[in-house]
Amino acid sequence: MAPSAEDRLDLPMVGERQSLREQVADALRAALITGEMRPGVVYSAPVLAAQFGVSATPVREAMLDLAKEGLVEAVRNKGFRVTALSDQDLDELTELRRLIEVPTVVKLAENPATADLEGLRPIAEEIVRAAETGDLLAYVDADLRFHVGLLSLAGNTRLVDIVRDLRNRARLYGLDALYRQGTLADSAREHLDLLDALLAGDGKRVETLISQHIHHVRGIWAAQPPPKPAK
The residues spanned by each domain of the chain are 20-82, 87-221
Q: What is the pLDDT of residues 164-215, one digit of tens each?
A: 888 877 665 567 777 777 778 888 999 999 999 999 999 999 999 999 888 8
Does pTM surpass 0.85? Answer: no
The CB density around residue 186, as the number of other CB atoms within 10 Å, is 13
CATH tag, 20-82: 1.10.10.10
**Helix 20-34 and helix 56-68: axis angle, to 10°?**
60
Quote the CATH superfamily of domain 87-221.
GntR ligand-binding domain-like (1.20.120.530)
| Chain segment 72-90, per-residue pLDDT in tens | 999 999 999 988 878 888 8
Query: What does 88-138 look like in DSSP terms, one character per residue?
Result: HHHHHHHHHHHHHHHHHHHHHTTSGGGS--GGGHHHHHHHHHHHHHT-HHH
Which residues lie closer than 8 Å to 174 by C-beta, 6 or more apart? 219, 220, 221, 222, 223
What does the angle CA 29 – CA 34 – CA 39 come to, to the nearest 5 degrees?
Answer: 75
Q: Which amino acid would we find at residue 18? A: Q
Q: Determine whether 122 is exposed, middle or buried from the number of CB atoms within 10 Å of its CB (0-12, 13-18, 19+).
A: exposed
What is the distance between the alpha carbons of residues 196 and 177, in angstroms, rounded to a whole number?
28
4 class by beta-carbon count within 10 Å (0-12 exposed, 13-18 middle, 19+ buried): exposed
* Tens-digit pLDDT profile for residues 128-162: 999 999 888 888 889 889 999 999 999 999 999 99
